[in-house]
Structure 1
């Protein structure tokens, strides 16, 4: 008669798949830990060393480690204060973390080393706009225009900025100059249409927006602009014909649902109007939740909050941001995402 051994369970039951997510997450964190300890730059010039740290910052960001990415960009500019990519990277991370005033300061440093490179001034203009420094954004795009005078791109950017600031005359001038250089660009024609719409010139607005629509027929924003004018002109039936196909291409576009609801209501199609109104309310609430949670995680990041944000992004099919948020949650706490499949977003 043999002695029976106590049936103590092994800590990891590899006969099931329940532990596999944890193992994968722990392996991921181990990899990040290894990367975190590779701080030494290879031999080379100051420019080469700064480039090395910028590349590592991009890798850290791809792994969802915002803080490490920011620290590596700081390391790049510490080694080479003339690193444009380093200063721009610092600013972009500060914008990502909602530190707009700090970002503007970092962009001012990048501006001092931008030189005569048009692409750098374009990047500065876009970053200043993201940091909500409109005056500096306009100045940067003007500099870009001076450097590449025959390009439509900086003029389009200027038009968009002026339009957002309700400076319609300047926006119209910028768009017209852009159209002279590249008349077949949908964004330019749409910009002119939006200017005329804001100024109350509905016929001119419709003409430009129709041209833009012909150039880019599946763009949901263009379809919404044109549909809105059709509704104003008492043509809800044409608005419906324009918007219904877009629900297949962009099912989570909030304004498409809103305008469809208005169009159906104007046509007396009450059941369809109610359905679109419900979809609009649902999507609008998700968007509000996303915006609120984005602000919260920027100030106080936690694994649970990033996991919740990933689920919200998934609900509106923004898969790239969902994956990035999931990676960030895993970096902060691998165990928090191991059992992710067992809960739903409704718990948040």
Structure 2
């Protein structure tokens, strides 16, 4: 995924006006070759400037002089990013026509179908994409996600396990399966998948947060607390974890320990509180407002 404008600012410690001046200087420029225009378009899209990206991709198509499905795909993505769904659909269809057996245009069309609630159409296109690229775990997870959004959890699980067969060392696939199993109430199985994800990505605090849900659901309360504390160690500035510890310790009747977390928990913002409520609901614990 391309870095956002703010991520670039943070990464290079630029002030926003400095980076903005770079973008302003690039506006109106035309690449001297199709490849240069393509690169400028991708950079603009990564910064969230879809209008500038569209302009560069269109110029690249003209400069290339021959049909190039890769540019058509990028132009389709820029249209999709700008919520210009009709134009995006035409571009993806065009790329599909040019590639003949290409899977990427099908994935783009499936994304558009999903956005408009046409899950059967999205699933059909993704199934075709999987047939074209059976070794691509990304497409298999896309298919699993479409089934999940359509309410077909068992089919989603089967599709995700297909991705795992293709790429067994992918932490995200293990996490995705674990998260789905939590949703299905299969907490012991979820723990196994989340454990595998953590072994592959031990520095991801969110994995420990989700593991805490599974531990709590199977009655392993001390392990749930341990998982939250490990998540907090990985990201000490995330006040959500102190709020979660405070609530879990309170639930367990450990009031003195819970009070130790109150000061840091009080720094949670609205987003933290929203995530806390959802996490507690996943654990089967009601919010304070419900008490």
Fold match by TM threshold 0.5: yes
Say yes or no: does 1:188 pair with 2:176: no
Shift of 1:161: 3.1
Where structure 2 has 5 or more consecutive residues not aligned to the other structure, the ranges are 1-14, 276-291
* Alpha carbons 1:159, 1:171 under 8 Å: kept: yes
Describe the SS at the equivalent of 2:126: helix
Q: Which residue of 2 is the match for residue 206 of structure 1?
A: 191
Cα root mean square deviation, aligned? 4.0
Shift of 1:228: 0.8
Q: How many residues align?
A: 256
Shift of 1:168: 0.6
Say yes or no: does 1:124 pair with 2:108: yes
Shift of 1:122: 7.6
Distance 1:218 1:160, change over 3 A: farther
Q: Which residue of 2 is the match for residue 147 of structure 1?
A: 132
Q: What pairs up with 1:258-277 in 2 under 5 angstroms? A: 259-267=244-252, 268=254, 269-275=257-263, 277=265
Say yes or no: does 1:32 pair with 2:26: yes
Distance 1:122 1:222 in 2: 31
Distance 2:80 2:17 in 1: 33
* Alpha carbons 2:160, 2:173 under 8 Å: kept: yes
* Alpha carbons 1:107, 1:128 under 8 Å: kept: no
Shift of 1:193: 2.7
Question: Per-residue CA shift, 1:17-72, capped at 9, x if unaligned?
Answer: xxxx9996897477335xx2446x55xxxxxx4x4532332344467754222222
Q: Which residue of 1 is the match for residue 59 of structure 2?
A: 75
| Residue from 161, 182, 185 that aligns with 1:197 | 182
* Alpha carbons 1:194, 1:205 under 8 Å: kept: yes
* Alpha carbons 2:242, 2:262 under 8 Å: kept: no
Say yes or no: does 1:108 pair with 2:93: yes
Q: Which residue of 2 is the match for residue 58 of structure 1?
A: 42
Distance 1:28 1:168, change over 3 A: closer
Distance 1:38 1:261, change over 3 A: same
> Whose radius of gyration is greater, 1 or 2?
1
Q: If the length of structure 1 is used for normalisation, what is the TM-score?
A: 0.58
Shift of 1:253: 5.7
Q: Which residue of 1 is the match for residue 206 of structure 2?
A: 221
Describe the SS at the equivalent of 1:280: coil
* Alpha carbons 2:95, 2:105 under 8 Å: kept: no
Where structure 1 has 5 or more consecutive residues not aligned to the other structure, the ranges are 1-20, 43-48, 288-348
Distance 2:147 2:94 in 1: 25
Distance 2:17 2:135 in 1: 55
Distance 1:130 1:113 in 2: 23
Distance 2:189 2:48 in 1: 46
* Alpha carbons 2:243, 2:261 under 8 Å: kept: no
Distance 1:57 1:190, change over 3 A: closer
User: Which of 1 and 2 has higher RCO (CA within 8 Å, sep 6+)?
Assistant: 1
Distance 1:106 1:236 in 2: 52
Shift of 1:117: 3.8
Distance 1:172 1:22 in 2: 43
Say yes or no: does 1:162 pair with 2:156: no
Distance 1:179 1:72, change over 3 A: closer
Q: Which residue of 2 is the match for residue 278 of structure 1?
A: 266
Distance 1:160 1:235, change over 3 A: same
